[in-house]
Structure 1
Amino acid sequence: MINARPPNWRNPRPPARYRFLVIGGGPAGLMAARTAAAMGARVALVEAHLIGGISANNGCVPSKTLIRTAQAYAMMREAERYGARGPSEITVDFRAAMARVQRIRERLVRVDSPERLTAAGIDLYFGHAHFIGPDAIDVDGIELRFSKALIATGSRALLPNIDGLDEAGFLNNETVFDLEALPTSLLVVGGGPLGCELAQAFARFGTRTLISHREPLFLPSEERDAAQMVSDALARDGVEIHLNSQPTRVRVQDGRKHVDLLNEGNTATTVVEQILTGIGRLPAVDGLCLGAAGIEYDAIAGIGVDDFLRTSNSHVYAAGDVCLKFRFTNTAEASARIVVHNALLFGRRRLSALTVPWCTHTDPQVAHVGLYVKEARERNLPVKTFTVPMHNVDRSITDGAEDGFVKIHVREGTDQILGATIVGRGAAEMINVVSLAMVAGVGLCRLATVIHAYPTQGEAVRQAAQACADTLVSPLLAGIRRWWLKARDDPQAEHDAPRH
């Protein structure tokens, strides 16, 4: 990963004080540093490992690249379903798939290479940073002072407490993309987005794949029918599903991992070549010496911030995974823009004003924005939901992708969009239309007037909008319309209409 960290890099000589200092070179840190430098501020960016952070090096970029290759193999196997003749024999070249991951990872990291960051006016330091005062940090012996600072150190993998796991060895999102050979068998621990995505991908490559999840359904934050569709899809792809189940012990025998799975008081043992943990992430706060700067934090929740993303030290802000509940790349970048505006331009932009969509990239995808029904009811907001199954959408039928739905929640009696969940092959793109409407303050009924290209899966959003528009027609107006149209067909009806 030369583009992410040149081997012979020499840190610059620091000035007396930086106007804006950023700790962490992931999505939030890069966005903040570039934006602040473009404004004309003297900016320092400190990164302990690789430019690009988890997202570019060990997260979204490599995982979505691998998922796309796995999807290609799945479509080859299903060729007859599409009226095509598939290859007589499908040989998986996992080494080629991983080589593609590496190429794409290098290509995208190149956009934020150290040379380009330096050319943009950013002083780049590689090394471990820790606070030595309220307005100063140390980077491997170099003291950097600042007027304002941003902590954007991201998050690290949360490891399950399983007896013998460390001794047996395991994979996580930071190591799985370094595999050189396809595992013959794999146990995925955790049924969240990462676990579901990679379990499906490895099953499609031909690995005997098991997934263990301690709750009764995958994707516990999502709506139940959406999570059930993902569970059904994993089962169709051959994933062996263990719900209400958790590994309790791992031991190695004859080079293979023997894992005890506890389910409702009963223990069963499965034997696999590899174990992949994907139970979540923790904020990366270790080693920062936050107390030296008067910054309050929690090891689980991360750095405490207010709605303006200020920490308990008014000169220091935080953004991204290190302080936010929703740990997504788009949220990290959006929060970084808020910080730059508030820290350098004395702004008052609020985190709570953001509308953030997200997506789990299984097949079908699960995308969401805004409130869930449960959340709306907890806020005493009356909700009406409009649902369109994807099997009612022409493009979904032609594509053979009928699993899924569009579900849009509005405040009852109005067309104000409160939230939406979309399940389907194009859900990640379709959710953006709803997100745009929410940000722009456009009601759902207005989307019924938008003409979509035909045939597209986005037509499902328009159908939901039309259903909303139909329900908001008052009984009086509907009666007048019926009378008017009947009168046009029957002149006597108009003559007999009551006079006022």
Structure 2
Amino acid sequence: MKTLKTDVLVIGAGSGGLSVAAGAVQMGARVVLLEGHKMGGDCLNYGCVPSKALLAAGAAAYGQTLGAAMGVSPIVTKSDYAKAKDFVRSVVARIEPHDSVERFEGLGVKVIQEFGRFISPTEVQAGDTIITARRVVVATGSGPFVPPISGLADVPYHTNETIFELRDKPAHLLVIGGGPVGMEMAQAHRRLGCAVTVIEGQKAFGKDDPEMAAIVLQKLRDEGVSIVEEALAQNISGMAGNITVETSNGTFKGTHLLVAVGRKVNIEKLNLDAAAIEYHRGGIRVDPGLRTSNRRVYAIGDVAGGLQFTHVAGYHAGVITRAMLFGLPAKAKVDHIPWATFTDPELAQVGLTEAQAREKFGARLDVARFDFSGSDRAIATCKTNGLIKVMIVKGRPVGASIAGAGAGELIGLWAMAIANNLKMSAIAATVLPYPSMGEINKRVVGAYFSPKLFESLMVKRVVAFVQRFIV
């Protein structure tokens, strides 16, 4: 058995783990990185990257059917599903070198391609190596949760970890789960020529603003995606090519099944009890600084039990790097964290939804709204199907909800505003190019200030005084 001593040991080479390893080694720390599966983690191999590539393939096919309003005759497209998957693979392959063993070893990181497990509060074993580190970072992420539905284990099904390897186009894809993963895959497959039925036990996009969710859901329905809500899956039967899902709201048949009901944290291989690290079903218990009950050990990203997004893992990496390397106090916050679903139209949120803000602030809350149909750029590009709402308290945004083209890009301005406690006046003072979709953010600010300016008797009196007496 070999032994190693290091400053920082990172368990998991997903987004968060790679960020910690790269940052720490380049600032002079000795770093060991453990990964027993694929470098790049879920995001690169099974999540963000391949899903957006498949969505792009679907968008390319769907785009050929549009254009009549612009004088371009629509054409009937024929999608090659296997070649679309080749494109997805090529996108992943193009990004892989950035997350590779070779790159990180080139930076000076000691990479061990084995799973890590604690054997004591101060030691981790990986294969035939025992590592002792001043600080350990657990960044093992999460995987697809497979619910205990009767019959599911006896039927072939896909999760996000297998759907991108499927080469034969499904004639009819059944999707259990109406969250971001399920809805993105539903639209991508529909646009590539599959019949699609989404089965959701509660409400689709249940964590998002209902008004915004309704905009996206209607568009998917208009494209031919069948979305059934309040339909809890109770029994699944059949075989490859002929699958039946019985629910509390009807029975549905299809050729293929995708299970997309949520995530489970990857902690089963860690042997956390040996390290005196407290955990629960939702993840490892951490304090505001992301430290576990074992003060030598931090947990970041999905495994820390909070918001499960790649960019959150990256943010966590920055928080703990300041603490580990410089001894600076650092706490992770959540109120400035945005998220987006990359359907068409996109759906994005940061901070509080309208319902959450009304519950918290009551009559102190202002809500500014602007419809995409009022944007000159949206009109010129036929992208008027959308809405932005900003929740404001005492002149400062506390949340923003967007449904529409480019929502994932537009939400960035509001994430910055909330993170830096900016006032609406700061957004108003920002000059944006015309005509751009970004102007939608300025227009909603105008919707907030307009009543205060144009309906104020005091403002009108001041203006009248100036016009009468000031030369």
CA contact (8 A) 1:155 1:281 kept: yes
3-state secondary structure, aligned to 1:352: coil
Question: Residue 309 of structure 1 aligns to which amino acid in structure 2?
Answer: L
Q: Distance in 2 between matches of 1:405 and 1:269?
A: 34
From 56, 80, 86, give the equivalent of 1:99: 86
Give TM-score, length-normalised by structure 1: 0.90
What is the CA-CA distance between 1:446 and the residue it aligns to? 2.3
What is the one-letter code of the residue matched to 2:58?
A
Contact 2:146 2:261 in 1 (8 A): yes
Offset of 1:378 from its aligned partner? 4.1
> Which residue number corresponds to residue 431 of structure 1?
411
Q: Which residue of 2 aligns with 1:33?
A: 21
Q: Does 222-231 or 20-29 show the bigger shift?
A: 222-231
Letter in 2 for 1:363: D
CA offset digits 1:300-323 (Å, max 9, x no partner): x20000000000000000000001
The one-letter amino acid of 1:214's match is G
1:69, CA displacement in angstroms?
0.9
- Please give the alpha-carbon distance, in whole angstroms, between the structure 1 residues aligned to 2:334 and 2:174: 40
Deviation at 1:65, TM superposition (A): 0.5
Check if 1:195 corresponds to 2:170: no
1:305 aligned to which of 286, 291, 303? 286
* 1:38 aligned partner, one-letter code: Q
Alignment pair present for 1:290 and 2:277: no
Indicate how the Cα distance of structure 1 residues 193 and 253 shifts in structure 2: closer, same or farther if over 3 A, else same. closer
Uncovered stretches (5+) of structure 1, i.e. residues with no partner: 1-11, 489-493, 496-500
Aligned to 2:439: 459
Tell me what 2:71 maps to. Answer: 83
Q: Is the 8 A contact 1:445 1:466 kept in 2?
A: no
Q: How far did residue 344 of structure 1 move?
A: 2.3
Which of 440, 443, 450 is residue 420 of structure 2 equivalent to? Answer: 440
Of 429, 434, 437 in structure 2, the residue corresponding to residue 449 of structure 1 is 429
Match of 1:481 in 2: 462
Pick from 260, 265, 273 the counterpart of residue 246 of structure 2: 260
- Structure exhibiting the larger radius of gyration computed from Cα positions: 1
CA distance in 2, matches of 1:485, 1:86: 58
1:482 aligned counterpart, secondary structure:
helix
CA 1:228–1:144 in structure 2 vs 1: closer, same or farther (change >3 Å)? same
Query: 431-440 or 131-140: which moved more?
Result: 431-440
Residue number in structure 2 paired with 1:325: 306
Aligned to 2:390: 408
Is 1:230 the counterpart of 2:212? The answer is no
Q: Which amino acid is the alignment partner of residue 467 of structure 1?
A: A
Q: Equivalent residues in 2 for 1:353-432 (5 A)?
A: 355-380=336-361, 382-411=364-393, 414-432=394-412
Task: Decide whether the 8 Å contact of 2:179 with 2:206 is kept in 1.
Answer: yes
SS at match of 1:210: strand
Contact 2:6 2:133 (C-alpha < 8 Å) held by counterparts: yes
Match of 2:38 in 1: 50
> Contact conserved, 2:68 with 2:74, CA < 8 A, in 1?
yes
**Residue 150 of structure 2 corresponds to residue 170 of structure 1:** no
| One-letter amino acid matched to 2:175 | V
Contact 1:134–1:313 (Cα < 8 Å) also in 2: yes
Deviation of residue 471 (structure 1)? 4.0
The more displaced of 282-291 and 463-472 is 463-472
In 1: Cα distance, 2:443 partner to 2:218 partner: 26
Separation of aligned partners in 1, 2:130 and 2:296:
17
Of stretches 393-402 and 268-277 in structure 1, the one that deviates more from structure 2 is: 268-277
Q: Given that residues 192 and 279 in structure 1 are in contact (C-alpha distance below 8 angstroms), is that contact kept between their aligned partners in structure 2?
A: yes
Rounded to whole Å, the distance in 2 between the matches of 1:353 and 1:223 is: 17
- Are 1:130 and 2:110 matched, yes or no? no
User: Which of 347, 352, 355 matches 2:333?
Assistant: 352
**In structure 2, do the counterparts of structure 1 residues 354 and 20 end up closer, same or farther at CA, with 3 Å as the change threshold?**
farther
Unmatched 5+ stretches in structure 2: none
TM-score by length of 2: 0.95
CA contact (8 A) 2:339 2:348 kept: yes
Q: Secondary structure at the match of 2:433?
A: coil
Shift of residue 476 of structure 1?
6.1
Q: Compute the displacement of 1:188 (Å).
A: 0.4
Offset of residue 227 of structure 1: 1.1
- The residue number in structure 2 matching 1:280 is 262
